[in-house]
């Protein structure tokens, strides 16, 4: 399967201190597809009257909220790097930054080096929070300047699927007494990770020479139940067809401390009496997609 790779867009924003509130421009960290944790950086340039200003007070008005206001991300994921340390920003509580602790560019403007880390547990959507920057004069009093900016980013949906090493084969070789059924013991397993609801389909190419003798038999996949993460839709479908058969639907796996979920499965054939003796080997294809 092909998945969309993560795209990190970094904008450099020029912010000028004036005697008036600036226009509401956005500081956009771009898009994240955080199959693993990803950090993106952004530079905010400030032209400051050094004779009258010594300190900056910086904070977020609130947490990062998704546009539906249901999901949120902590403000402390946004960090400021000074000359001496990396500081987490907070919501509703300002941190004080001395101008001497901020780097400058070649034109003499002060730079606020900001970074944001997207975690693999973040759910999809566009998130925003308002960044407030106040200036204090050399005596620590409020200077008549305030900068407000929307800090935003987008979390993209993502999916991952892989085989469990050492458990990537199903051997159907056990026979039930007084039955025409043949089945596997032990089975195989695949691993799935996602930050969105998903669905899993499967099929076996009916044109495969190795599988032709099984086309009209009742081949079943038995997926081990896991009520916390997925629901079984089809445990005994017909898989010898061009279009994949839906077998499982699931929820995001990354809530809490989770990431991967294991999905063990076994296989059986209801009537093997007309299958020619010998070893028959063929692949089963799994397709993971957004639900």
Q: For residue 82, what is the domain's CATH number?
A: 2.60.40
In angstroms, the CA 104 to CA 11 distance is 18
26 and 132, same domain (yes or no): yes
17 and 144, same domain (yes or no): yes
Residues 6+ away with beta carbon under 8 Å from 238: 219, 245
Residue 252 to residues 52, 121, 195, 215, 235, Cα–Cα distance (Å): 52, 9, 5, 34, 21
168 and 137, same domain (yes or no): no
Residue 218 to residues 107, 268, 284, Cα–Cα distance (Å): 75, 8, 15
147 and 167, same domain (yes or no): no
Tokens at 257, concatenated: 């401390």
Residue 2 lies in a domain: no
Residue 181 lies in a domain: yes
SS3 161: strand
140 and 272, same domain (yes or no): no
Residue 3 lies in a domain: no
pLDDT in the model for residue 272: 77
The tally of CA atoms less than 13 A away on the side-chain side of residue 128 is: 12
131 and 57, same domain (yes or no): yes
Give, for all 291 residues of the chain, the pLDDT tens digit. Answer: 444 333 333 333 333 333 333 444 789 999 999 999 999 999 988 877 777 788 899 999 999 999 998 999 999 999 999 998 999 999 999 999 998 899 988 877 889 999 999 999 999 999 999 999 998 877 767 776 678 889 999 999 999 999 887 777 888 887 777 777 888 887 789 999 999 999 999 887 766 656 566 655 667 888 888 888 899 998 766 676 778 889 999 999 998 788 999 999 888 887 777 777 777 777 888 999 999
186 and 223, same domain (yes or no): yes
In angstroms, the CA 275 to CA 217 distance is 9
Instruction: Specify the number of domains making up the chain.
Output: 2
149 and 20, same domain (yes or no): yes
141 and 22, same domain (yes or no): yes
277 and 238, same domain (yes or no): yes
Which domain, by its residues, includes 188? 159-290
Residue 6 lies in a domain: no
Stated pTM of the model: 0.81
Residue 164 to residues 63, 175, 247, 252, Cα–Cα distance (Å): 38, 26, 19, 19
pLDDT in the model for residue 67: 94
68 and 43, same domain (yes or no): yes
Tokens at 37, concatenated: 């944790």
Residue with tokens 């495969």: 208
pLDDT in the model for residue 108: 78
In angstroms, the CA 222 to CA 266 distance is 5
């Amino acid at each position: 399967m092909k998945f969309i790779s993560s795209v990190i867009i970094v904008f450099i924003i020029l912010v000028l201190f004036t005697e008036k509130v600036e226009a509401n421009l956005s500081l956009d960290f771009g898009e994240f597809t955080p199959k693993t944790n990803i950090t993106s950086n952004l530079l905010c340039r400030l032209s400051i009257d050094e004779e009258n200003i010594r300190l900056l007070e910086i904070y977020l008005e609130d947490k990062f909220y998704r546009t539906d206001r249901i999901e949120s991300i902590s403000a402390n994921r946004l960090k400021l790097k000074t000359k001496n340390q990396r500081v987490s920003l907070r919501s509703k509580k300002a941190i004080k930054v001395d101008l001497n602790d901020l780097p400058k560019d070649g034109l003499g403007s002060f730079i606020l080096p900001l970074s944001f880390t997207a975690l693999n547990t973040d759910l999809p959507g566009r998130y925003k929070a308002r960044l407030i920057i106040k200036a204090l004069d050399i005596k620590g009093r409020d200077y008549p300047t305030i900068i407000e900016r929307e800090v935003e980013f987008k979390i993209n949906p993502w999916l991952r699927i892989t085989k469990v090493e050492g458990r990537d084969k199903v051997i159907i070789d056990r026979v039930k007494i007084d039955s025409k059924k043949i089945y596997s013991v032990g089975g195989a397993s695949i691993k799935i990770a996602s930050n969105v609801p998903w669905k899993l389909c499967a099929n076996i190419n009916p044109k495969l020479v190795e599988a032709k003798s099984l086309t009209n038999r009742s081949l079943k996949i038995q997926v081990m139940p896991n009520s916390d993460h997925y629901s079984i839709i089809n445990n005994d479908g017909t898989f010898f067809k061009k279009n994949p058969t839906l077998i499982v639907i699931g929820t995001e796996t990354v809530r809490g401390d989770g990431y991967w979920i294991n999905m063990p499965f076994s296989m059986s054939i209801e009537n093997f009496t007309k299958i020619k003796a010998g070893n028959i080997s063929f692949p089963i294809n799994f397709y993971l997609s957004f639900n």
